[in-house]
Amino acid sequence: MVKSNMLISKSVNFAAELEKAVPAQRLLIDEPMSKHTTFRIGGPADYFVLPETVQEVADVLHIAKQFAVPVTVLGNGSNVLVLDRGIRGLVLKFGPEMANIRHSGNTVFAGAGALLANVSRYAAQYDLTGFEFAIGIPGSIGGAVFMNAGAYDGDMSQVVQAVTAVCQDGGVKRFEREALNFGYRHSVFQETGCLICEVELALEKGINTSIRGRLDDYTEKRQTKQPIEMPSAGSTFKRPQGHFAGTLIEKAGLKGVSVGGAQVSTKHAGFIINAGDATAQDVLALICKVQDSVYKQFGVSLHPEVRILGDA
């Protein structure tokens, strides 16, 4: 009884402190994460904050540290599976509130919440080339740096010049290209826990018609080959060396196989889709089923590319 009273007063104090850092309309309690993920899956976050400035991010992190409240970051929620009981502690979402895009010469500066499609279109508008690959990736630029997202032979490592981030102590830090430690679907931020706030891209002057041609081409390819009309988190698994996950899954006869509302897409076996009211548990069970079957038939281990967040 004493313990629960202490916990309640602690959380009341925490919420009160947060309200000093961000206005009440950008601080939500028990916010369902299914509203913020492209899978349309995920239980509630205890506290959910939409920061507008780097200073707000730093202030919120500082308060969370004082109260020992765990912090989780979300961009556009297009590469995450949030579990059914949701996320304990605080979720900071980088969305349209931190999505300013500008440029100087061939350098584009984008707030972490800027959507990749908007950055691609912005670059095209100013005849800047090098970011066309990102047109159809439905993430924020912060999430894309974290994941080193890529497509059509391009990825973030080829264009990111520097990143400004807020680290766990609340300090603002600039990471130059050499410090970003990019690898296949990997960046230094998967180790540091720093929150990406602004990204600088080094692009090149290009020819407008060629840039727009590539944007159209990539968009059409996605529309015909990927189940973009269904909720998902994109490719479920990382590419195993020497193979394509989708091809192995298809060859294993798993296209269309489902567990509850989760289904291996019939359009592209590399995607698990939410075919209707899927729970995170359904998706996890289907991931295991696919991993087992592919391993038994081909001896290849599949590892999820999708980041799993929260409590089961």
Task: For residue 295, report the phi and psi dihedrals to the nearest 5 degrees.
Answer: -65, -45
**Residue tagged active-site, from 78, 157, 235, 265:** 235
Distance in Å, CB of 206 to ligand FAD, minimum: 21
18: enclosing H helix or E strand: helix 2-21
**Three-state DSSP class for 231?**
coil
Closer residue to ligand FAD (CB): 16 or 184: 184
Closer residue to ligand FAD (CB): 178 or 229: 229
Distance in Å, CB of 1 to ligand FAD, minimum: 36
Closer residue to ligand FAD (CB): 139 or 304: 139
Does the annotation count 214 as an active-site position?
A: no
Closer residue to ligand FAD (CB): 136 or 206: 136
Distance in Å, CB of 112 to ligand FAD, minimum: 4
Distance CA 270, CA 163 (A): 31
Does the annotation count 235 as an active-site position?
A: yes
Residues that bind ligand FAD (CB under 6 A): 38, 73-80, 94, 112, 137-140, 142-144, 146-147, 149-151, 189, 195-196, 226, 228, 232-234, 307
* Tokens 């996605």 -> residue: 222
Does the annotation count 229 as an active-site position?
A: no
DSSP 8-state assignment for residue 140: B
- E strands in 35-182: 44-49, 71-74, 80-82, 87-93, 101-104, 107-111, 128-129, 150-151, 154-155, 160-166, 172-176
Residues annotated as catalytic are 185, 235, 305
